[in-house]
Structure 1
Amino acid sequence: MSDLCPVYAPFFSAMGCTSAIVFTCPSPSALPRVPLTSPPSPLRRHRCKRVRSYGTAKSGVGIAAMSVLRPDQMMKCVVPVIMAGIIAIYGLVVSVLIASDLSVAMSLAQGFVQLGAGLSVGLAGLAAGFAIGIVGDAGVRGTAQQPRLFVGMILILIFAEVLGLYGLIVALIMNTKSQDLSGVC
């Protein structure tokens, strides 16, 4: 181990992998609602499996409200939920790519670049998820009242999805460049 390749360098890659997953699948209700003085419970650890991302949940509320007024258009308005799920796939792809490059001997620069790649896709996915949730909720409710708004909702959803796609592209470029830094150690 040298100054360029310290023993803690893989930690930053692992944090990049973690941030890619955590930020693209946000769930505020996954946080414990019990006081911090209580002992840990197994239910608190498994609560994350039951919750959805913000975009899916917010769009789902709009779909539930819309299906009461116009049940014939319910399947057409599931598009925001599907688009919110695609954001999570972006984070999964980048985290798998970062995890495949993890090794014991890696340079500090490679770890930092992979951390940046994870943060890039994660934070872009977080912003896209919130945008899709807000647009999906309002768009689905508006489509229930005026069906001509469906095309406009889809266009705005595409613009929101592109935020996550930009983060994915930047993360893929950064991860590719991090492989050039692996020859230092």
Structure 2
Amino acid sequence: MSEAGHGCPPAAAFFGFIGAAAALVFSNMGAAYGTAKSGVGIAAVGVLRPELIMRSIIPTVMAGILGIYGLIVAVILAGQIGQQSYPYYLGFAHLSAGLAMGLSGLAAGICIGVVGDAGVRATAQQPKVFTGFILILIFAEALALYGLIVALILSGKTASGGC
């Protein structure tokens, strides 16, 4: 029920803001894990084969992109949340958009971290592994792209009629 019998329910915006926060927080958690886990592998490679350090940074860069995806969705969602005419329908759509992006970014970050750590270590021992390693990272990044696409579609939803 809306306040004083007019306008949209103020609680609806809560769900939209949680969606924006979820997109950013979960994507950044994935990016942080991917960066940390692949950074451990880079440190190990740096001790044995210092010439491969720059080539080994690829998983860290890919993990950082996940945070950018979450930021994009969070900014889009936060820009659409208004005090007037913001029904529960939009609040729930924005919550689901944020969760789609955030959890996809988290899953991709975990995958990038695990593959990044093992991949840079394997590449240091056998350089022929590098191409397959990069392909696996690309598929892991695609998981976050799927979440981004769904989040953008959900954030474009409009409520027909009023509250």
Q: TM-score, normalised by structure 1?
A: 0.82
CA distance in 2 between counterparts of 1:122 and 1:172 reads 12
Corresponding position: 1:107 with 2:87: yes
CA distance in 1 between counterparts of 2:161 and 2:51 reads 59
Aligned to 1:35: none
Aligned to 2:135: 155
Please provide the CA RMSD for this pair.
Answer: 1.7
CA distance in 1 between counterparts of 2:56 and 2:116 reads 9
Corresponding position: 1:92 with 2:65: no
Aligned to 1:41: none
Describe the shift of the 1:150–1:4 C-alpha distance in structure 2 as closer, same or farther (beyond 3 A).
Answer: farther
Q: TM-score, normalised by structure 2?
A: 0.93
Identity of aligned residues (%): 56
What one-letter code is carried by the residue in structure 1 that aligns with 2:65? I
C-alpha displacement of 1:4: 8.8
Residue correspondence of structure 1 range 44-55 to structure 2 within 5 A: 53-55=32-34
Aligned to 1:125: 105
Residue correspondence of structure 1 range 8-157 to structure 2 within 5 A: 8-26=11-29, 53-105=32-84, 106-157=86-137
1:107 and 1:182 in contact (8 A); partners too: no
Higher helix share: 2
1:120 and 1:167 in contact (8 A); partners too: yes
Pairs aligned (count): 159
CA distance in 1 between counterparts of 2:77 and 2:54 reads 36
C-alpha displacement of 1:5: 2.6
